[in-house]
């Protein structure tokens, strides 16, 4: 044939980081962006909130000046009214308000602080490592990472402070109700106020980020695997990630294009091999840490569930959690497409993922109780009252029907597989995807503060148990030198430093397992062991081998969780046969 259709063509490489540079991809994506839609999205996400932020001090000072006398007159009943108001707010609105505030806060960090700071930090590291000898000690590399983090924080802080200084002369911080007669004259000072407030926050946050990253335990390669006595309890865990199921028989993945495999044959080979291994030496868990699908489409989920259904013995041990490709890819055919915050598309992808999770593990994992401090019912029990609402929304996809589904999505995380006994092994499944509506930021990670505190509460509830903490994104960037600058940017947890610090007191009985980067790395951050899963699908074409690992965890004699040397499983498919019409 002149063109082999199963081999794809240039169109399949439109967003492939394996076949095209980031600069080329960015250029083509920018050419596809709907500029009016982008402008509207920026107005919704940044313009209006920014204007309101800048107006806030003007309105507050005007209001205070007007009503302060009245407040004084009502001082006798003021405390009672304030108490009633606080009680009502606590009863009806604290949790939704906290969630909204946290989403807005981390969205701001995703939009401004984290990209600027991470770009500066990884740029400094990439430059510094060029002058570092290949045989440099691990301590020296750790010190370099700490120094570049602090330097990035100081640099971003200086730039932000400069922007604030430039906008300061146009600011105005007090207002009067007379200003409402000519509201247009408030636009310039309100925008100047916004620039100063945002730049000030950026300066403080970047510096805090740099200090936190510099002072934390730096990630290091694991020096040696643990050992455990033969009598110790053991758990065998097959760790997969980033299988990126496609919905077409010969379809290619978004980010690998023709540099990756076509279709889902590679996944079928992986599951066949796992089934053989399980029959010979049973597995306790098959953990898939996100990106089950390539773009979160219904056809992709159908293919994934169909593949699992071929291996019921494995399916009984499979646990999945959401990756950015499952919930944050706006459009597989056009990765540059922008999704407005009012669009139901994001919610629909979340509900597809939630439905698949319920089908795979709904009867085995638990959610937390209403107070988010103890185990509640199973995932299936938690979703039962909402089944009709979710199904109706999936059928119609309207904004009206999506109301309230955000809380359903947020309430089910973290999911937990409790330990069989007080010293057994449990599993925590986290959602580590940051809220995003655009392909340039869809890979960012975040563990919500509420979920983090709920996870810590469960760890305290089972003080002798061992745990796998499973998430999609890597908590910290790897210490390994990167060949290309594009390998370093924009994928780790935004709040990874806090995540690692929060787990440190319990780290001896934990292992964190993640995916997202498609490569294998086993290391530690202080006492916390971190295991990254290679993709058994993404990083090779059809005739090249890939691999995954089976990890053995054991009960250590000191009450901790031992990580024994893993078993590497290689998958080597045969080349595609010639095509005969």
Alpha-carbon distance of 460 to 380, in angstroms, equals 25
Query: Quick one: what percent of the chain has pLDDT higher than 90?
Result: 41
Q: Rounded distance, CA 543 to CA 348, Å?
A: 36
What number is the average pLDDT over the span 495-506? 90
Residue closest to 282 by CA, chosen among 310, 317, 239: 317
Strand-pair partners of 562: 554
pLDDT average, residue stretch 572-580: 64
The span from the CA of 143 to the CA of 122, in Å, is 14
- Retrieve residue 431's tokens: 């959602």
Mean pLDDT of 278-284: 96
Task: Say if CB 367 and CB 377 are below 8 A apart.
Answer: yes
Q: Is residue 397 left, alpha or beta, with left meaning phi > 0 and alpha meaning psi from -120 to 50?
A: left
Instruction: Establish how many alpha carbons lie within 13 A of residue 398's alpha carbon, considering only the half-sphere containing its beta carbon.
Output: 5
Counting beta carbons within 10 angstroms of the beta carbon of residue 184, is it exposed (0 to 12), middle (13 to 18) or buried (19 or more)? Answer: exposed
Q: What is the mean pLDDT of residues 39-55?
A: 69
Q: What is the CA radius of gyration of the chain?
A: 26
> What would you measure as the largest C-alpha separation in the chain, in angstroms?
91
Rounded-to-integer distance, Cα 407 and Cα 409, Å:
5
- Helix ranges, 216-344 (H): 265-280, 298-309, 312-315, 324-327
Residue 111 has pLDDT above 70, yes or no: no
In this predicted structure, the answer to whether residue 379 has a pLDDT above a threshold of 80 is yes
Triad 304, 306, 309: Cα angle to 5°: 115
What's the CA angle centered on 22, arms 19 and 25, to 5 degrees?
Answer: 75
Residues 62-108: pLDDT tens digits? Answer: 666 666 555 555 555 555 555 555 555 555 555 565 555 555 555 55
In 444-509, alpha helices (H): 449-461, 496-503
Q: Please report the beta strands in 419-527, taking only residues with DSSP state E, as ranges in sequence order.
A: 425-429, 466-470, 510-514, 521-525
pLDDT value at residue 97: 55
Query: Which of 501, 400, 448, 453 lies closest to 101, judged by CA?
Result: 448
Q: What is the mean pLDDT of the chain?
A: 83
Q: Chain-centre distance of CA 447, in angstroms?
A: 7
User: Does the pLDDT value for residue 219 go beyond 60?
Assistant: yes
Distance in angstroms (rounded) separating the CA atoms of residues 109 and 460: 30
Min mean pLDDT across 1-10, 67-76, 208-217 is at 67-76
pLDDT digits (tens, 9 = 90+) for 139-169: 888 888 888 889 888 988 898 899 899 999 9
pLDDT value at residue 280: 95
For range 517-534, the mean pLDDT: 93
Q: Which residues contact 333 (CB under 8 A, 6 or more apart)?
A: none
Higher pLDDT, 65 or 270: 270
pLDDT bin (cut points 50, 70, 90) of residue 109 is low
| pLDDT confidence of residue 407 | 86
Residue 180 CB contacts under 8 Å (≥ 6 apart), including other chains: none
CB 474 within 8 A of CB 148: no
CB 516 within 8 A of CB 323: yes
Give residue 541's pLDDT.
81
Specify the pLDDT at position 377: 94
> What was the pLDDT predicted at 65?
66
Q: Which of 245-249, 258-262, 282-286, 415-419 has the lowest mean pLDDT?
A: 258-262
Containing H/E element for 380? helix 379-383
- Mean pLDDT over 553-559 rounds to 94
Lowest-pLDDT range of 48-57, 120-129, 204-213, 569-578? 48-57
Per-residue pLDDT at 39 exceeds 90:
no
C-alpha span between 526 and 305 (Å, rounded) = 38
Please report the pLDDT score of residue 94 as a whole number: 53
């Amino acid at each position: 044939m002149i063109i082999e259709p199963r081999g794809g063509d240039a169109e399949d490489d439109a967003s492939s980081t394996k076949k095209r540079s980031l600069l080329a991809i960015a250029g083509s994506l920018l050419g596809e962006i709907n500029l009016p839609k982008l402008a509207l999205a920026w107005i919704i996400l940044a313009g209006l909130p920014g204007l309101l932020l800048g107006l806030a001090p003007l309105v507050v000072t005007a209001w205070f000046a007007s009503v302060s006398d009245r407040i004084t007159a009502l001082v006798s009943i003021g405390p009672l009214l304030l108490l009633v108001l606080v009680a009502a707010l606590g009863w009806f609105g604290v949790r939704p308000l906290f969630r909204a505030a946290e989403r807005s806060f981390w969205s701001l960090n995703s939009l401004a602080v984290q990209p600027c700071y991470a770009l500066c930090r990884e740029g400094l590291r990439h430059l510094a490592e060029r002058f570092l000898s290949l045989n440099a000690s691990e301590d020296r590399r750790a010190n370099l990472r700490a120094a570049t983090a602090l330097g990035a924080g100081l640099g971003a802080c200086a730039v932000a402070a400069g922007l604030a200084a430039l906008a300061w002369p146009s600011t105005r911080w007090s207002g009067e109700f007379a200003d409402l007669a000519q509201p247009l004259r408030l636009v310039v000072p309100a925008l100047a106020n916004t620039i100063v407030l945002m730049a000030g926050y950026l300066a403080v946050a970047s510096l805090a980020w740099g200090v936190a990253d510099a002072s934390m335990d730096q990630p290091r390669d694991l020096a040696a695997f643990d050992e455990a006595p033969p009598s110790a309890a053991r758990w065998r865990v097959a760790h997969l990630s980033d299988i990126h199921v496609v919905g077409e028989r010969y379809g290619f993945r978004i980010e690998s294009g023709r540099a990756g495999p076509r279709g889902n044959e590679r996944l079928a080979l992986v599951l066949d091999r796992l089934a053989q291994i399980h029959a010979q030496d049973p597995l306790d868990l098959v953990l898939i840490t996100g990106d089950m699908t390539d773009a979160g489409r219904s056809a992709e989920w159908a293919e994934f569930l169909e593949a699992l259904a071929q291996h019921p013995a494995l399916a009984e041990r499979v646990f999945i959690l959401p990756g950015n490709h499952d919930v944050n890819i706006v459009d597989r055919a056009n990765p540059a497409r922008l999704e407005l915050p009012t669009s139901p598309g994001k919610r629909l992808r979340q509900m597809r993922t939630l439905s698949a999770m319920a089908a795979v593990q709904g009867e085995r994992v638990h959610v937390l109780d209403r107070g988010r401090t103890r185990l509640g019912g199973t995932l299936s029990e938690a979703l039962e009252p909402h089944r009709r609402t979710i199904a109706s929304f999936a059928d119609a996809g309207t904004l009206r029907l999506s109301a309230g589904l955000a809380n359903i999505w947020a309430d089910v995380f973290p999911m937990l597989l409790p330990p069989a006994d007080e010293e057994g092994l449990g599993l925590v499944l986290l959602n580590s995807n940051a809220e995003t509506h655009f392909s340039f930021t869809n890979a960012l990670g975040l563990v919500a503060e509420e979920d983090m505190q709920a996870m810590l509460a469960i760890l305290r509830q089972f003080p002798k148990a061992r745990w796998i903490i499973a998430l999609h994104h890597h908590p910290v960037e790897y210490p390994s030198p990167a060949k290309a600058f594009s390998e370093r940017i924009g994928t780790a947890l935004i709040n990874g430093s806090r995540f690692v610090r929060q787990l440190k007191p319990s780290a001896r009985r934990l292992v964190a397992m993640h995916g997202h980067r498609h490569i294998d790395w086993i290391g530690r951050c202080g006492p916390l062991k971190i295991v990254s899963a290679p993709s058994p699908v993404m990083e090779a074409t059809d005739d090249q081998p890939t691999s995954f690992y089976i990890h053995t965890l054991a009960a250590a004699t000191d009450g901790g969780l031992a990580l024994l040397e893993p078993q590497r499983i290689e998958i080597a498919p045969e080349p595609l046969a010639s095509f005969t019409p």
